[in-house]
Amino acid sequence: MTDTTRRDFLRRSGAGAAALGLGGFLLAACGDDEAGSGSAADGPIKIGLLNALSGPLSITEKSMLQGSQLAVEQINAAGGIGGRKLEAIVEDYASDFTVAVQKAQKLLQRDKVAIVVGGYTSASRVALIPTFQKAGKLLFYGTYYEGLECDTDTFYAGAVPNQFLLDYVPWITKNLGTSIYVVGSDYVYPQTVSAIVKKIAPATGGKVVADRYFQLGTTEFGSVISDIKAKKPDVVLSNLVGDSTPAFYKQYRAAGLTAKSLPIAATVTTEVEVAAMSPADAVGHYQTATYFQSLDNPANEAFVAAFRKRFGAKAVTHMPLVGNYNAVHLFAEAVRRSGGDTSTDALRKALVGATFAESPEGQPATLAANHHLSHPSYVGRTDADGQFEIVATFQPRDADPYPAEVVPASKRPQCPTPFKG
């Protein structure tokens, strides 16, 4: 896809673009309504779960849905919220962002859910947000993303770049090398992450020597692997998503490239993508995350045990899944804080300050006024069992969707940004 086509896509998606003096750096643009049938004091509280359960994104999103479902089941097993059970309404948007909007409209207008937890790629989130803004309803987005957004009708369970890239990129240049080749899927998150890496890498001697983007669902990477071999970088930074990830790793290894000869440092290759390939294809390569299944803390041990009891002894947990799990628990806590009021205004107020003490990340998850969470971050190296050995640990950072390292003070918008219609 050409640069012009990318800009057109972002504009159509509502992401917007703005120059930050970096030449091509993308800056994503960033009533008290009826609560629906879930507002009855003795009735269930409806919650929408919206994920791609088919198509190229289903490799990750099926398990993300399971994270949401486990949380719903745990809340209901504990007696619900003030005696009211959660009623989960599941929709599959089939990896199609137009369908995602249609499904969201159905959840909000016909099913009258109190909130929707869902989406995965930033392209899905960008497509969905206008629907929630116009309806005056709330979206809880479970996974990490590129930041540069702070929407008044969206809450974010995942990390933003100041919580993972600002530590990861210096770690890469110190431990793996300074010449970085970036590959990514062709949408908002990979492009923006690449732009941020270009911005911050020079401070530690790093340089992006090339970046290549591929349509979602791409599974043929022969040409880019040949180019990687020709350019001989020190490290490949992968922002590939969905089915593209196992395909790239398999072809990378088949071409004779290994973690020892040319390591991959990824931001999107979690345990579930590794499980979709042979562990030998991923062994020794790296990933940054705010959560790994291998984390050693009581909350995570209990979570992994509960997840495997519900979904199978070989089921793997991962960062986006945990984001959805935390989001549902945070929503439940907000309903408790609001005294059972599930109107948008009540939920928006109650979500700020809501805490889920048993987050598997190992620290309580508390929503800040900017609708984001504090997160620790880690670097993991894939082992022969498809899990990640943690090789670096970084202290929790509060979320800053517009970090000073990326966005000049003069361009920092209000956070959250009010919707103006």
**376 CB neighbour count, 10 Å cutoff:** 20
388/304 Cα distance (integer angstroms): 15
Of the pLDDT bands very low, low, confident and very high (cuts 50, 70, 90), residue 421 is low
Query: For the chain, how are helix, strand and coil distributed in percent, rounded to 5?
Result: 40, 20, 40
What is the reported pTM? 0.89
Residue 21, pLDDT > 50, answer: no
| Token code pair at residue 54 | 């088919």
Neighbours of 260 (CB within 10 A): 7
DSSP collapsed to 3 states, 386-399: CCEEEEEEEEEECC
Q: Which of 27-31, 85-89, 108-112, 156-160 has the lowest mean pLDDT?
A: 27-31
Determine the 3-state secondary structure of 382 from DSSP: strand
Phi-psi region of 100 (alpha: psi -120 to 50; beta: other; left: phi over 0): alpha
Stretch 237-247: mean pLDDT, rounded?
A: 97
In this prediction, residue 40 carries a pLDDT of: 52
Domains contained in the chain, CATH given: 36-159+297-374 (3.40.50.2300), 162-289 (3.40.50.2300)
**Three-class SS state of 257:** coil
- What is the arithmetic mean of pLDDT over 78-90? 97
SS3 198: helix
Place 11 in a pLDDT band, splitting at 50, 70 and 90: very low
**More reliable by pLDDT, 9 or 374:** 374
Q: Is the peptide bond before 233 cis (omega within 30 degrees of 0)?
A: no
Res 224: pLDDT: 98
Note whether 165 and 193 are within 8 A (CB). yes
Question: What share of the chain in percent tops pLDDT 70?
Answer: 90
Residue 19 has pLDDT above 60, yes or no: no
3-state secondary structure of 289: strand
Q: d(Cα 204, Cα 236) in Å, to the nearest integer?
A: 17
